[in-house]
Structure 1
């Protein structure tokens, strides 16, 4: 049976995971022109806290991490045209998208196979993060002309020209965010599963 970790030790570990996640976020594999990039599994340290210390510490760590990401990505708010868009971007793209990473352990709990649970939990919170950015993208990019111009770069102009403004904005947000968030989700799940396979004690609950 694992000996419960002291509060000080957990605080230090959470701080280290936030620092590690932030550093990994500065190592982009691929960057998009209007915000967003595939990073070197920068969310994995935050997800790891959830698996090790549960929902309370996981969401608290993820929330603090979200505030740091907001400060680092504040320039992206320049794309917002209204106050509502700014608020929506902050709440969805940063606070919700990162804080919900702390729920990975909840998704993993029903799985008897720890490896499968880690994979499912990591995938679930990664997809929730994508959903948050997808919703935020619609709020921020409700500009038909820009969305249409971006989509035509892929040769989809005629096929989507009949879509209404709202539908086109939803499609634009889905495609734009998918180009970097879904590949990162796959990389993060693979990294989590491989790490859990090689060092299972890292994912062992400490409470």
Structure 2
């Protein structure tokens, strides 16, 4: 069904890139529309759409800056997951999940590899959409930190599922046999938790923590006349 979008080596054809980009644009604007507040009768807020766009752009750019790269995909980036989680923290999990889905499409465009439709869902679409779950704690104390932890764990769950279904044959021969069943956990949560711990440590810096809270208030329009 999707053969016209995929090359023989698992990449994307020109049509595949075009369709993927078009879908990403449509979903991005839908996410922006859903971000609209009640005071605007659910119309798209230009400011909210702008903040979502900036966060996704920063996430995409920092995903290219990898402190460590894994051999079969994934790696420790310069806090790219945090920028996606912030969207959910600003506007709630509904918008966050949709923005994460768009980010998953961007990651797919950046480095596509297709074994099956469900594999693409596990490795790209659902995994990165899960980062939007960070918005579950937007009204709670230390909500960003709690949301980030949940988002990273949720993203890893989809990567692990994809690992069991599609990538077990890529397990290195020298990997300890006693740990073979845990290979997808070790591989995926290895780099995810490494970036997660680094991000959590950085978030404890008072100046940065205060700056992010100020940005969050501006993004939500708190204190502004509605």
If the TM-score is normalised by the length of the shorter chain, which range does it land in?
Answer: 0.7 to 0.9
Q: Contact 1:134–1:174 (CA<8 Å) still a contact in 2?
A: yes
CA-based RMSD: 2.3
- Matching residue of 1:50: 88
**TM superposition score normalised by structure 2:** 0.70
Q: What SS does the corresponding residue of 1:30 show, helix, strand or coil?
A: strand
Indicate the residue corresponding to 1:96 in structure 2.
126
Counterparts of 1:199 and 1:107, CA distance in 2: 15
Which residue in 1 is equivalent to 2:70? 32
The alpha-carbon distance between structure 1 residues 54 and 193, as it changes in their structure 2 partners (threshold 3 A), is farther
Alpha-carbon distance, 1:31 to partner = 0.5
* Segments of 4+ moved more than 6 angstroms: none
- 1: CA distance between counterparts of 2:211 and 2:54? 21
Aligned to 2:11: none
Please give the alpha-carbon distance, in whole angstroms, between the structure 2 residues aligned to 1:176 and 1:18.
26
**More divergent stretch after superposition (10-19 vs 25-34):** 10-19
- TM-score normalised per structure 1: 0.76
**2:167 corresponds to which residue?**
141
Question: Distance in 2 between the 1:149 and 1:122 partners?
Answer: 34
Q: What does residue 203 of structure 1 align with?
A: 216
Q: Distance in 2 between matches of 1:142 and 1:31?
A: 19
Higher normalized contact order (CA 8 Å, seq sep 6+, divided by chain length): 1
Query: Using the alignment, how far apart are the partners of 2:220 and 2:138 within structure 1?
Result: 15
Q: Identify if the C-alpha distance between structure 1 residues 172 and 95 changes in structure 2 by more than 3 Å, giving closer, same or farther.
A: same
Paired residue total = 177
Is residue 151 of structure 2 the alignment partner of residue 125 of structure 1?
A: yes
Show the counterpart of 1:18.
56
1:174 to 161, 177, 185: 185
Shift of 1:134: 0.9
Which residue does 2:195 correspond to in 1?
A: 184
SS in 2 for 1:142: helix
5+ residue gaps, structure 2 = 1-38, 222-226
Q: In structure 1, the residue corresponding to 2:67 is in which secondary structure? A: strand
Structure 1: give runs of 5+ residues left out of the alignment: 81-85
